[in-house]
Amino acid sequence: MTMTHTRFAFVKAQWHADIVNRALDGFTEIIPAAQVDVFDVPGAFEMPLLARDLAATGRYDAVVCAAFVVDGGIYRHDFVAQSVVDGLMRAGLDTGVPVLSVSLTPHHYQETDHHNEIYRSHFVTKGREAAQAALGILKTRQSVSARSAA
Alpha-carbon Rg for the chain in angstroms = 16
Active-site residue list: 76
Query: How far, in Å, CA of 27 to CA of 21, rounded?
Result: 10
Q: How many CB atoms lie within 10 A of CB 72?
A: 11
Q: What single DSSP character describes residue 44?
A: G
